[in-house]
Amino acid sequence: MSVRISVPRESTAGERRVALVPEVVRALVKAGASVSVETGAGVPAGFPDDGYREAGATIEANRATLFGSAHAVLKVQPPTPDEVGPMGPGTVVVALMNASRNLDRVAKMRDARVTAFALELLPRITRAQSMDVLSSQATVAGYRATLIGAGLCPKFLPMLTTAAGTIRPAKVLVLGAGVAGLMAIATARRLGALVEGYDVRRAAGEQVRSLGAKFLELAINAEGAGGYARELTDAEKQQEAAMVAKAVAEADIVITTAAIPGRKAPILVREEMVAAMRPGAVIVDLAAETGGNCVLTRPGEEVVVHGVTISGPLNVPSQLPFHASQMFAKNLQSFLTLLLTKEGTLVTDYSDEILAASLLTADGTVRHRPTADLIAAGGA
């Protein structure tokens, strides 16, 4: 019997992405899978039901049937308790779970004996690159952040020579040169701005310079495990702050992207740094969902403090849902190659290092130890 895959419409407020797009559905159906898509699931992202029908999917209006009949449920956001309810034991759910912020949902999946895979837990290894939704969605976020900054900035980004005189280019500073930061830098450069990038990892300097931006140098190497930055010491933080403060004061647009997995975002921009910025300057804080890199950021809001506009957008990839969904779906397609056997059934052995690392719940237990500890501490 072929595996039955269900794709619901996202129920999280403001979420416009969809887990699968027709192109990927067509490939899965060709491989022998049966795919059901909830009515209107792709509409917010620009994928109407007819496209899924033409790809071989069944359009299902009844959510209880959609979840209850599935062998595997593919989502962008973690399933709600109401969505987990109809699922049978052993149903596989794949999504961005954000487990530490959704402990109640993890506990619900555990109690329902659902097998859940958290895409944010994928290991940063070469073999998992094609499945890396964090990177694909960070690409979208970095691009969008630059457009947000350009829209709020009262200046042209490129240099212009006009009959009214020469317009000097705007100066953009990007703090954090991971995937989102590098995409923000590349986009700002395409728009003609003067761009500076900074990251505590010296190795990021080569990538920043390759995009035509200036890399702010500091004699600190904070390369950590898994390609992430380690936390700085107090002395290093003081050195960093002095250099960053000068660069922030000179920038027209500051885009912050620094994050530490599973922890509150580090503060890079303090209030006195904001006060030193030019009137009309803009800060776009991509770390708003985990508290923000700017101490004045209000997640989900746009505020003006000391004459500076501070934007704390949430779920930024959802603002470009068409291409964000395309990339997400391609990542899922790659991940499914590990979950499906050659006969088109679901694997039951999760010893593969990628599956083992991303396994969140199975057989009534929470398999991800940090999440299990958080749930135990909360008594759930």
Do 103 and 239 lie in one domain? The reply is no
Contact 77, 15 (CB under 8 A): yes
Q: In the listed set 297, 314, 331, which residue is the last one of a domain according to the structure? A: 314
Do 333 and 266 lie in one domain? The reply is no
Do 79 and 147 lie in one domain? The reply is no
Q: Which of 26, 53, 113, 124 is catalytic?
A: 124
In this prediction, residue 14 carries a pLDDT of 93
Please state, in angstroms and rounded to a whole number, the distance separating the CA atoms of residues 372 and 380.
10
Please return the burial class of 198, using the count of CB atoms within 10 Å of its CB with bins 0-12, 13-18 and 19+. buried
Q: Which of 129, 130, 210, 238 is catalytic?
A: 129
In this prediction, residue 344 carries a pLDDT of 82
Q: In the listed set 295, 314, 333, which residue is the last one of a domain according to the structure? A: 314
Is 129 considered catalytic here?
A: yes
Do 296 and 364 lie in one domain? The reply is no
Do 123 and 142 lie in one domain? The reply is no
Is 228 considered catalytic here?
A: yes
- What residue has token string 């009959």? 163
In this prediction, residue 379 carries a pLDDT of 63
- What's the distance, Cα to Cα, between the start and end of the chain in Å? 36
| Cα–Cα–Cα angle for 125, 126, 132, rounded to 5 degrees | 70
Q: At what angle do helices 103-111 and 369-378 cross, to 10 degrees?
A: 100
Residues facing 340 on adjacent strands: 346
Give 290-294 contacts, CB < 8 A, sequence gap 24+: 290/259, 290/263, 290/264, 290/265, 291/264, 291/265, 292/256, 292/265, 292/267, 293/175, 293/176, 293/256, 293/257, 293/258, 293/265, 293/266, 293/267, 293/268, 293/269, 294/256, 294/267, 294/268, 294/269
Do 156 and 268 lie in one domain? The reply is yes
Do 143 and 127 lie in one domain? The reply is no
Do 223 and 263 lie in one domain? The reply is yes
Largest CA distance in the chain: 72
Is 124 considered catalytic here?
A: yes
| Cα–Cα–Cα angle for 324, 140, 34, rounded to 5 degrees | 20
Total number of domains in the chain: 2
Q: Which of 4, 228, 239, 270 is catalytic?
A: 228
Do 190 and 272 lie in one domain? The reply is yes
Q: In the listed set 314, 335, 354, which residue is the last one of a domain according to the structure? A: 314
Do 34 and 57 lie in one domain? The reply is yes
Q: Which two tokens stand for residue 148?
A: 């947000």
Do 126 and 142 lie in one domain? The reply is no
Do 121 and 224 lie in one domain? The reply is no
Beta-sheet pairing, 160-162 with 72-74 = unpaired
In this prediction, residue 225 carries a pLDDT of 61
Is 135 considered catalytic here?
A: yes
**Mean pLDDT for each 10-residue chunk of the chain (380 residues)?**
93 96 97 96 98 98 96 97 95 96 95 97 95 97 98 96 94 96 98 95 91 85 63 78 91 94 87 96 96 96 98 97 98 96 89 96 96 85
Its pTM stands at 0.92
Q: Which domain holds residue 25?
A: 4-131+321-378
In this prediction, residue 243 carries a pLDDT of 87
Q: Sheet containing 359-362: which strands, arranged edge to edge? A: 58-60, 34-38, 4-7, 72-74, 92-95, 115-118, 359-362, 365-366
Please state, in angstroms and rounded to a whole number, the distance separating the CA atoms of residues 378 and 57.
41
Of 292, 291, 138, nearest to 283 by C-alpha is: 292
Separation in Å, CA 155 to CA 9, 48, 73, 101, 150: 39, 38, 46, 38, 8
Task: Write the CATH number for 112.
Answer: 3.40.50.720
Q: Which of 132, 199, 252, 285 is catalytic?
A: 132
Q: Which of 6, 135, 333, 334 is catalytic?
A: 135
In this prediction, residue 222 carries a pLDDT of 65
The torsion of the CA quartet 81, 38, 76, 319, rounded to 10 degrees, works out to -120
Of 78, 77, 9, nearest to 43 by C-alpha is: 9
